[in-house]
Structure 1
Amino acid sequence: MTRTLLLSLLLAAPLAHASEKETDYNTRYVETEADRRRAAFTETEEPLPLFPAADGWTELYVSPTYPGQLLIDRDSIHPAADRTVRYVLNLRPQRGGTDNISAEALYCAATSLNIRDSKKSAYKTYAYGDPVKRRWIAARNARWQNLGGRPDSAAAVRETLYRIWCHDGTPETREGLLRRLDERGGKNAASGRQNRKESD
């Protein structure tokens, strides 16, 4: 009797293991309400920032081939209630021309995995700046645009911001965001990363 029972258990074990492996998803993980809240994204409406002062720009390093200057207004940088980073950018042409100023938000996804309907890392332009009249012009059809895609100068700008604020998690305070900007936004920080990549 004992031998028959033992034999039955030994035969049943591989079947149970096989049936578990046949599923295409994790049967042990149960999504909690806290997980759903973290993955959900509800945009927070904010008034447009003050128009930046002409001498208040900080330059960020993009790459040796970037055609112009990427500038950011430090005073405008802050975390919003929807876990985005809000800031004012200035894409300054290399040889004169008008500053291209924009008020934007950057959303850093909690994971790079495509999980259910979770929002991907993206940015949104709310308004464009008129540097002559020093006023904001609301962006028409403002919408979130996922990061990545075609490798052009606009993508390089977003990649720079992503590198500064999204890698290793997004700081939750203004002080933390500014510290990241100082640590990762300069040419020395970027060239150090490049050297590490080349040595790997």
Structure 2
Amino acid sequence: MKLSRYGLALAGLLLALSAQASEYSRSSNNTNYAMDDIQPWAEGKFSIPAYPAAPDWIGFYIGPEVANKYFVDSKSMTVGEDGVIRLILRVQSPSGAENLSVEGIQCAEGTYRSYAFGDSINKRWIESMLADWRKIEYDDKARRALREDLCVEKTAPKSAEQASKLLRAAPWR
């Protein structure tokens, strides 16, 4: 098969452009704007707070189809350097039964962790046996509402005071 002069010229031109592009990409790797190596997220240290003696409960709205009432103790809320909002969650049934838990919400990933559950008779915490962070599922209305109210643009608030303000200002949808 015979190549025409134009075919040979085109092939040569493509080879030259390819070599030049390869050289350009090597020389244009400007390290002035290089990001530091991004480390994977790691949870910070956390101690379970004391069982609430005089809590300051802030109610938050889940939806009209939910009979239970939901509250967060503003005194227990913390925002860690790891970007996790930690709080005491109270769920109250229509008959008055209460469940307390110590929860953590990681805003960026949309995950949560239950650290401990309340023993209301002995006023103490029972540590959770599941230490895993779990995805907040669509049907987990309480944690989804907390993330929507507390995590502006999937970012944790800067302080516990800001988190309390966000929760108090959240609309009752």
Establish whether residue 102 from structure 1 lines up as the match of residue 88 from structure 2.
no
Counterpart amino acid of 1:67? A
Alignment of 1:1-200 (within 5 A): 32-33=35-36, 36-37=38-39, 40-53=40-53, 56-97=56-97, 99-109=98-108, 120-149=109-138, 151=139, 155-168=140-153, 169-184=155-170, 189-191=171-173
Q: Secondary structure at the match of 1:47?
A: coil
Q: Equivalent residue of 1:76, what SS? A: coil
CA distance in 2, matches of 1:176, 1:63: 24
CA distance in 2, matches of 1:164, 1:53: 26
Please report the TM-score for the alignment, with normalisation by the length of structure 1. Answer: 0.66
What is the total number of aligned residue pairs between the two structures? 153
> Residues of 2 paired with 1:43 and 1:157: CA distance?
22
Identity of aligned residues (%): 25
Mapped contact 2:55–2:73 kept (Cα < 8 A): no
- Partners of 1:54 and 1:131 in 2: how far apart? 14
Query: Contact (CA 8 Å) 2:58, 2:167: kept in 1 or not?
Result: no
SS, match of residue 94 in structure 1: coil
Number of the residue aligned with 2:29: none
| Contact 2:56–2:74 (CA under 8 A) maintained in structure 1 | yes
The TM-score with structure 2 as length reference comes to 0.75
Unaligned runs of 5+ in 1: 17-29, 110-119, 192-200
Q: Are residues 55 and 47 of structure 1, via their aligned partners in 2, closer, same or farther at CA, if it must alter by over 3 Å?
A: closer
Unaligned runs of 5+ in 2: 1-5, 19-32
Instruction: State whether residues 55 and 75 of structure 2, in contact with CA within 8 Å, keep that contact through their aligned partners in structure 1.
Output: no
Residues of 2 paired with 1:81 and 1:165: CA distance? Answer: 16
Report Cα offsets for 1:30-71 as digits up to 9, x if no partner: 97226x14xx21111211112113653221111111121101
The offset of 1:72, in angstroms, is 0.9
* Cα distance in structure 1, aligned partners of 2:41 and 2:148: 21
Shift of 1:124: 0.2
Residue 166 to residue 55, structure 1, CA distance change in 2 (3 Å): closer
Q: Which has the higher helix share?
A: 1
Offset of residue 89 of structure 1: 0.2
1-structure distance, mates of 2:103, 2:96: 23
Two-structure CA RMSD over aligned residues (Å): 3.1
